[in-house]
Amino acid sequence: MKGINKRKNISENNILVAKEYDQKFNNVELDYQGAADKRTSWLAEMKYRTSIFNHHRREFFDRFPLLGYSLKRIFFAIITLLLAICVIFILLRLVTSDDIYISDIDINKLNILPGTPEYNNLLEQRMKIFGVYGSIWTQLGTYLYNIIPFFKKTIIVNSAFDPVTGQLVGDKITTFFYLGVVFSTAVAQPGELVSEIFAKAIPYSFAFGSVAVLLAYLIGVPLGIISAKNKERSVDNTINAASIIFLAIPPVVLVVGVYLISINAFYAHGLFSSGTFYTKFWPVFAIFLMITPPIVINTRRYVIDEMTADYNNFALSKGMTNRYIFYIHIFRNAGIQIFRLLPTAFVTTIFGASIFAEQNWSIPGMSKFIVSGVGNKDSFVVMGYILLTATSGIITSLLADIIMAVLDPRVKLTK
Query: Considering the domain boundaries, does residue 45 fall inside one?
Result: no
- Judgement on whether residues 172 and 219 belong to the same structural domain of the protein: no
pLDDT digit string (tens) for 307-323? 888 888 888 888 888 88
Query: Considering the domain boundaries, does residue 88 fall inside one?
Result: no
Report the domain count for the chain: 3
Q: State the average pLDDT over residues 369-395.
A: 85
Query: Who's near 337: CB < 8 A, 6+ residues apart?
Result: 298, 302
- Judgement on whether residues 396 and 261 belong to the same structural domain of the protein: yes
- Judgement on whether residues 228 and 358 belong to the same structural domain of the protein: yes
Query: Considering the domain boundaries, does residue 50 fall inside one?
Result: no
Please give the residue that has the higher pLDDT: either 273 or 383: 383
Q: Which domain holds residue 155?
A: 96-178
Q: Report the distance separating Cα 347 and Cα 357, nearest Å.
A: 15
- Judgement on whether residues 24 and 112 belong to the same structural domain of the protein: no
- Judgement on whether residues 170 and 231 belong to the same structural domain of the protein: no
pLDDT digit string (tens) for 127-177? 777 777 888 888 888 888 888 888 787 777 766 656 556 566 667 778 888
- Judgement on whether residues 100 and 139 belong to the same structural domain of the protein: yes
Question: What is the greatest pairwise CA distance in the chain?
Answer: 142
Query: Considering the domain boundaries, does residue 72 fall inside one?
Result: no
- DSSP string for residues in 7-51: HHHHHHHHHHHHHHHHHHHHHHHHHHHHHHHHHHHHHHHHHHHHH
Half-sphere exposure of 16 (CA within 13 A, CB side): 6
- Amino acid identity of 399? L
**pLDDT, position 1:** 46
Q: What is the CA radius of gyration of the chain?
A: 35
**pLDDT, position 114:** 78
Q: Is the pLDDT of residue 14 over 70?
A: no
State which of 49-58, 234-243, 273-282, 362-371 shows the largest mean pLDDT.
234-243
pLDDT digit string (tens) for 215-249? 999 999 999 999 998 988 999 999 999 999 999 99
Query: Which of 111, 145, 178 corresponds to the end of one domain?
Result: 178
- Judgement on whether residues 337 and 383 belong to the same structural domain of the protein: yes
Q: State the average pLDDT over residues 84-101.
A: 84
Query: Considering the domain boundaries, does residue 347 fall inside one?
Result: yes
Q: Report the distance separating Cα 90 and Cα 140, nearest Å.
A: 7
Query: Considering the domain boundaries, does residue 164 fall inside one?
Result: yes
Query: Which of 148, 178, 208 corresponds to the end of one domain?
Result: 178
- Judgement on whether residues 242 and 326 belong to the same structural domain of the protein: yes
- Judgement on whether residues 348 and 389 belong to the same structural domain of the protein: yes
Q: Report the distance separating Cα 130 and Cα 153, nearest Å.
A: 12
**pLDDT, position 220:** 94
**pLDDT, position 65:** 76
Q: Is the pLDDT of residue 206 over 70?
A: yes
Percent of the chain with pLDDT over 90: 15
- Judgement on whether residues 235 and 340 belong to the same structural domain of the protein: yes
Q: State the average pLDDT over residues 280-306.
A: 91
Q: Report the distance separating Cα 292 and Cα 221, nearest Å.
A: 9
Query: Considering the domain boundaries, does residue 172 fall inside one?
Result: yes
- Chain centroid to Cα 329, Å, comes to 35
- Residue 254: band (very low, low, confident or very high) from pLDDT cuts 50, 70, 90: very high
Query: Considering the domain boundaries, does residue 289 fall inside one?
Result: yes
CATH code for the domain in which residue 301 is found:
1.10.3720.10
What is the torsional sign of CA 77, 78, 83, 88?
A: positive
Q: Is the pLDDT of residue 289 over 70?
A: yes
- Judgement on whether residues 112 and 23 belong to the same structural domain of the protein: no
- Judgement on whether residues 149 and 225 belong to the same structural domain of the protein: no
**pLDDT, position 244:** 93
